[in-house]
Structure 1
Amino acid sequence: MDRRNVLKGAGLAAAAGVVASPAIAQSQPEIRWRMASSYPKSLDTLYGAGEMVAKRVAAATDNKFQIQVFAAGEIVSGLQVLDATQNGTVECGYTLSSYYIGKDPTFMFDTSVPWGMNVRQHNGWMYYGGGLDLVREFLKDYNVISFPAGQTGAQMGGWFRKEINSVADLQGLKMRIAGMGGQILQKLGVVPQVLAGGDIYPALERGTLDAVEFSGPYDDEKLGFVKVAKYYYYPGFWEGSAQPSLYVNMEKWNSLPANYKAILEAACAEANALCMAKYDAQNAEAIRRLVSQGAQLRAFPRDVMEQSYKEAFKTYSDIAASNAKFKKIFDHWSAFREKELTWFRIAELPFDYFVNQQQGQR
């Protein structure tokens, strides 16, 4: 064997490697996006889930694809994120679709449906039941594509200045509540108000609100509601699950290289799972702290629950009668929900009930 030829060949191979690596890297474009969030930075769960997406995308692309996250109010208000993404003011937005049911009640299906499905059922519908395809078809009219990118789980019913002993106590009550839940409670006498996260506490403190709902113990503690309203009700039946999404401007999405699209989609799926895990870990401790600070836990009265359930499905039927887009998704969602409830009744609910019963007897 000619040693000089071997060394020469090795040198050429090494040189080829030096050239090839940068050439591959250089073939990937440098992209800079802005993400408008509907949440303040203090909410490290919801605002943090958007940051999680941005960090994962940057890390997976060697910082070639960077997304800068802006809190509510820094570019647009928390309730204008869809509009900003739709018209290209920002490339993407992290938001809750239920903020936009004033445009079309069909928006609610992306986030949650009052008296609908829990987190696992909702994820099943979105990812494997055809729900995400239906939501994306609807959102084409708004020039955005959506990606599930967070979850809160079942939420609390909110903070009230006075006790609620029956439906009669809801009459004229001014409550911050977003989405379809507000429309349903309005039928029970509530006067719903829609405010972004950072605007709620001042209104409650000034007394322009009698009650607020936002999320659950971990987020609510950060927003300080316990300081001005002591009665903490459960459950938040209007959000048995609540899924924030990343909305991406359609033109910007279509212009991405295929591998960047795959990375962004995977980053959103990761945020969807980890956001829920963080809430599950943190809410259990936060509820204890809130009680120690004076929160008084209360269950909603039975008549409030029953009447809201009845009004919810009457509302859906009424909307479906005049809104073809809503009806298309509602019919599909209803059929999936029926099957899921049957399955969970067989295995999940008996398991959870027995474990909790035994825990209480220890």
Structure 2
Amino acid sequence: MGLFIIFLSCGRTITLVDMKVIEMKKMSRREAMKQLGSKVVASAGIAGGAGLLTNQAHADEADATIEWKMVTSWPKNLPGPGMSAQRICDRINTMSGGRMRVRLYAAGELVPAFEVFDAVSSGTAQMGHSASLYWQGKMPAAAFFCTVPFGLTPSEHVTWIEQGGGQELWNNLYAPFGVLPLMAGNTGPTMAGWFKEEIHSPTDMKGLKIRAVGIGGEVLRHLGASAVSISSSELFTAFQSGVVDAVEFLGPWTDGALGFQKIAKNYYAPGFNKPNGTGEALLNKVAFEGLDKDLQEIVKTACRIEADIALAEANAANAYALSELINHEGVKLNGFSNELETALRVAADDVMADFIAKDNGAKEVYQSYSKAKSDYSGWSKLSLVSYLGLRDKD
């Protein structure tokens, strides 16, 4: 067995025992060690050998893969948000060329669905994927960065975030928790929900147990309903067992995948509660700022791309899924009566007024959000509503 002693300048020694049986993780290191051995044998290049070891150690450190965890509020690969979360991980892994790897943990695998924010804030995970309205109890203003009743449409929301000061307000809101937020998906406008019995008037809402989150849940409580917050992985069982009488979640594609049409056939639209569906990426500030600048840009770009792709996917998939539900699964598409729509609007105004009066942060965000809605409304009506009326005339 060959034995070589390398004397370093500091007086230490490194013993290399049988170079053929030393296990190295990287071929580059193995080759370097072989070269080092030949140099020691051939010319006793002690200082040069030590330099090779030191240089190789630095190279190995530079080549080390950065490992991140992403925790989510969704079952793995849930159509819509679950798929967005996985694509973001995959995109970062690919775009970084292997320098960075993000591993996804679905709801409940590492932390419960509604503890994603706290996990990222504490550093349990470096990244999360969720919806900001889930943090309304911690930060009332958080709901605006996903959606609020009778609020911005998806395109209007993006405009507010990127051009209307929304991103800065969002950053400021999460800053005390050491969390950076980014748009990272969009499920599009939602439906108003699945009901086991038809709903005709505000009276029918009294005593109704319905799964609804965010400010929309407060609106329904204002009408006498009992709004319950249930994670997406538990929704089907809760609906089937009677824990709730109705469920409001997302659009036809995701709702259909969860199987709500097997329990109820009354599907209501439009979704006054959530007219937009922005998904958020949560980044631990310390972890993010510890990345090289190019990796920071890769993370941000991966999220930005997903915001665009997910909305296009949702629009296409929801159109197809709605047709399938109605034409092949016996689902009845309903709209709320004028009386109930009016009651919902009045309740939403009352709830919002009370909501912003209790929290200065919510008031500041509300003012910016309301200005955006006012500023963009005229163009939205002209460019979208008026045009569709013209395009689709018989």
Residue ranges of structure 2 left out of the alignment (5+ in a row): 1-57
Deviation digits for residues 307-332 of structure 1 (CA, Å, limit 9, x no counterpart): 22222222222222231111111111
Map Cα deviations across residues 167-194 of structure 1 (whole Å, 9 max, x no partner).
1100000000111110111101110000
How far 1:27 moved relative to its partner? 4.5
Match of 1:187 in 2: 222
Q: Percent identity?
A: 29
CA distance in 1, matches of 2:177, 2:367: 22
Between the aligned partners of 1:173 and 1:25, the Cα distance in structure 2 is 61
Structure 1 unaligned spans of 5+? 1-22
| AA partner of residue 315 (structure 1) | V
CA RMSD of aligned residues (A): 1.6
Q: Which residue number corresponds to residue 250 of structure 1?
A: 285
Q: Establish whether residue 307 from structure 1 lines up as the match of residue 343 from structure 2.
A: yes
Q: Do residues 144 (structure 1) and 175 (structure 2) align?
A: no
CA distance in 2, matches of 1:25, 1:345: 58
By how many angstroms is 1:26 displaced?
Answer: 7.3
Q: 1:324 aligns with which of 342, 348, 360?
A: 360
**In the TM superposition, what whole-angstrom CA distance separates every residue of 1:279-325 from its partner, at most 9, and x where no partner exists?**
11111111121122121110012222222222222222222223111
Give deviations 1:204-236, integer Å, cap 9, x for gaps: 111111000110111011101011111001111
Q: How many angstroms does 1:45 deviate by? A: 2.0
Kept after mapping to 2: 8 A contact 1:57/1:264: yes
TM superposition shift of 1:107: 0.9
Q: 1:111 corresponds to which residue? A: 146
Mean CA deviation greater in 103-112 or 120-129: 103-112
Distance 1:354 1:74 in 2: 50
Contact between 1:109 and 1:135, CA under 8 Å: does it hold in 2? no
Aligned to 2:47: none
Distance in 1 separating the partners of 2:182 and 2:86 = 15
For 2:239 and 2:148, the matched residues in 1 are separated by: 26
- Does 2:279 match 1:241? no
Q: How do residues 4-153 of structure 1 correspond to structure 2 at under 5 angstroms?
A: 27=62, 30-153=65-188
CA distance in 1, matches of 2:231, 2:195: 18
For the 8 Å contact 1:161–1:229, the answer to whether it is kept is yes
Contact 1:92-1:248 at 8 Å conserved across structures: yes
Match of 1:335 among 371, 380, 385: 371
Q: Secondary structure at the match of 1:102?
A: coil
Q: Tell whether the 8 Å contact from 2:189 to 2:274 is kept in structure 1 after alignment.
A: yes
Q: 1:277-296 maps to which residues of 2 (within 5 A)?
A: 277-291=312-326, 292-296=328-332
- SS at 1:298's partner residue? strand
Name the residue aligned to 2:334: 298
CA distance in 2, matches of 1:141, 1:309: 34
Q: Distance in 2 between matches of 1:126 and 1:45?
A: 21
User: C-alpha distance in 1, partners of 2:83/2:175?
Assistant: 27
8 Å CA contact 1:173, 1:189 repeated in 2? yes
- Determine the structure 2 residue equivalent to 1:3: none
Give distance in 2, aligned partners of 1:46 and 1:184. Answer: 25
Question: Is contact 1:156-1:236 (8 Å) kept?
Answer: yes
Alpha-carbon separation, structure 2, partners of 1:79 and 1:355: 43
Q: Indicate conservation of the 8 Å contact 2:79/2:253, yes or no.
A: no
3-state SS of 2:283 partner: strand
1:254-275 CA distance string (max 9 Å, x none): 2111111111101101000000
Distance in 1 between residues matched to 2:291 and 2:347, nearest whole Å:
44
Equivalent-residue separation in structure 2 for 1:90 and 1:218 (angstroms): 29
Residue equivalent to 1:204: 239
CA distance in 1, matches of 2:370, 2:70: 33
User: Which whole-Å CA distance do the structure 2 matches of 1:69 and 1:55 have between them?
Assistant: 9
**Alpha-carbon contact 1:164-1:300 (below 8 Å) kept:** yes
Q: Do the aligned partners of 1:105 and 1:180 also contact (CA within 8 Å) in 2?
A: no
How high is the TM-score relative to the length of structure 1?
0.90
- TM-score normalised by L of structure 2: 0.83
* Greater Rg over alpha carbons, structure: 2
Once residues 280 and 25 of structure 1 are traced to their aligned partners in structure 2, the CA distance between those partners, rounded to angstroms, is 46
Q: Contact 1:150 / 1:244 at 8 angstroms: preserved in 2?
A: yes
| Paired amino acid for 1:227 | K
Alpha-carbon distance in structure 1 between the residues aligned to 2:63 and 2:362:
40
Number of matched pairs: 336
Q: Give 4+ residue runs of structure 1 displaced > 6 Å after superposition.
A: 23-26
